[in-house]
Amino acid sequence: MLAVWALPWVTLPVRRIPWWCEKWYNYHMAANKVSSFMKRRRHLMWYTWRNAGVSVPAALEAVLNYGDVADVRAFIAQVGRERVRRTFRAQQGKPRSNYRPEVRALFRAIW
């Protein structure tokens, strides 16, 4: 009987999703979408060198503060309306947020 490691053509399944987020199968998909979105729009995060590995809340803040209507629509289309709404509301519940007052007022009225 041969061991599995002795057969070079047999590949074992690799766990790409961490065990703690298996039920959220699209966890990494959203992160990759945000990464590719921010790579194409480097002008939105002019204050940092690393635009590719940003989180969804940081990217949302940059898009709402410095983006135009087309950027906001594209971001919502990529990440999803519900996730954007949840992220915005979670950031508003914190004692400090970096949103401009007019952006905060507009999106509070929308969501």
Query: Is 0.85 surpassed by the pTM of this model?
Result: no
Instruction: Locate all alpha helices (DSSP H) within the chain, ordered by sequence.
Output: 27-40, 56-66, 69-79, 81-92, 101-110
pLDDT at 101: 87
Domain boundaries, the chain: 28-110
- Contact residues for 96 (Cβ-Cβ < 8 A; gap 6+): none
Q: How many CB atoms lie within 10 A of CB 17?
A: 13
Higher-pLDDT residue of 110, 5: 110
Q: What is the mean pLDDT of the chain?
A: 76
pLDDT digits (tens, 9 = 90+) for 73-84: 999 998 889 999
pLDDT tens for 51-60 read: 667 888 888 9
